[in-house]
Amino acid sequence: MGVIQNILAVIVVLGVLITFHEFGHFWVARRCGVKVLRFSVGFGSPFWSRYDKHGTEFALAAIPLGGYVKMLDEREGPVDPSEQHLAFNRQSVWKRIAIVSAGPLANFLLAIVAYWLIFVVGTTTAAPVVGNVAPDSPAARAGLEPGREIVAIQNDPVRSWEDINLKLVAAIGLSGDLSVATQASGGAAREYRLPVENWMVGQDPPRPLASLGITPWQPDYPAVIDQIMEGEAAAQAGLESGDRIVEVNGEPIDDWMAFVERIRQNPGQQLEIEIARNGERLNRTLTPGSRRLDDGDTIGYIGAGVAPVPWPEEYRREIRYGPVAAVGQAFARTGEMSLLTLDAIRKMIQGLISPSNLSGPITIARVAGESARSGFESFVGFMAYLSISLGVLNLLPIPVLDGGHLIYYLVEVVRGRPVSEQAQALGLRVGLVLVGGLMMMALYFDLMRLW
């Protein structure tokens, strides 16, 4: 069922993003007087199509990894003299710039709308309170104390762990002091300077909080099982919902995280556990399965979930804005995520971020499915971020992408004449090699994560 949900989720996400992107090109082309021959979502032969009154074919194709808008163009075939004024290549350079830019801009607009919706609906999140500080970590050396709420990173205000992670990822490669402002309940704010050197350079995958030695606060979870996945180790051992884990190999278990840690440390190893069930003490033999993480480590898992524990009200934060205020917040978040994406590309080129962080269709499908199962906010937020990534990547100055065409047109503005067809053909071949290479790398790292 999980695989089917992942496939459906990625079809919905990519379908929406591709449709918005291509509709941007289509809508502006129509208003610039260009005849559109085909609007296709997907590549390959269409399995469904229809024509509108303007003669444009709207099509759905079998390969849902892209799309295109085909416009009348004399460079692609003969054009009837009566329609030459409708050809893309006959338009002014400024109209061509507008048409090409419209696709990525549509993706940014979609992200703004998605973030606006999230901010208006509102979310309840965990307060970013420090739960534990690892000894001899940057946080410990700076004197950061558990129980304090983080309110700013590098002088930028934060309201959630998501905000904090975004600010920390932007600081990858930093050497010096990382500023973390905190506030105790009812007390004054205090700034800590965490010493870092080439921070998280090459770390795969980046773990910002763990690298600083910070563990988020969370309530104590008793080691009581709630959900059991059919066919997994917990079910095979005869564990049931409501069982409380008392001991593992003779050692007492105080809470759920202690139990999880024992499971993670013993993949494939037989464990003798004692449980409490309906007032009785029972013994069971449990052999955790093995799961490989993205960084290559192997951990144990048993396919069981903990019984939920309500968070105290003082550790909950509601983030909600009115319809007008949410517009500014949506623009700000879209801008922040766009700059973060560009900065990540720059750091990847410089070698500060491992290229293994590239994601292809398999990872996108998995994350899309997980975010869909996590709820409305996660799914819409993931769609917004992916839309921004699509917009930014399409604006890169690579000839086969929209950004490459914009470079040609800007050169034409400066020179007063178009770039030669020979130069454009050479650029197209180089662009295809670059984009094809990136796609193969992303697919390779996808498969490595899968295995």
Return d(Cα 301, Cα 234) in angstroms, integer.
9
- Domain residues of the chain, as ranges? 97-122+322-451, 123-217+310-319, 225-306
430: which residues sit within 8 A by CB, 6+ positions away? 399
For residues 271 and 286, give the distance between their C-alpha atoms in angstroms, rounded to a whole number: 5
Q: What is the pLDDT of residues 320-364, one digit of tens each?
A: 999 999 999 999 999 999 998 898 888 888 888 777 777 766 677
Q: Return the pLDDT at 201.
A: 84
Looking at domain 123-217+310-319, which CATH architecture does it have?
A: Roll (2.30)
Same fold, 123-217+310-319 and 225-306: yes
Nearest-10 Cα torsion for 371, 377, 383, 389: -100
Mean pLDDT in the chain? 87
Residues of the chain with pLDDT under 70: 1-3, 5, 186, 293-296, 360-362, 368, 446, 449-451
For the segment 77-111, what is each residue's pLDDT rounded down to a tens digit?
888 999 999 999 999 999 999 999 999 999 999 99
Tell me the pTM: 0.81
Region of 170 please: left (phi>0), alpha (psi -120 to 50) or beta. Answer: alpha
| CATH 2.30.42.10 for domain 225-306 | yes
d(CA 315, CA 241): 28
Provide the annotated active-site residues.
22
CA distance 390 to 104: 7
Beta bridge partners of 299: 291
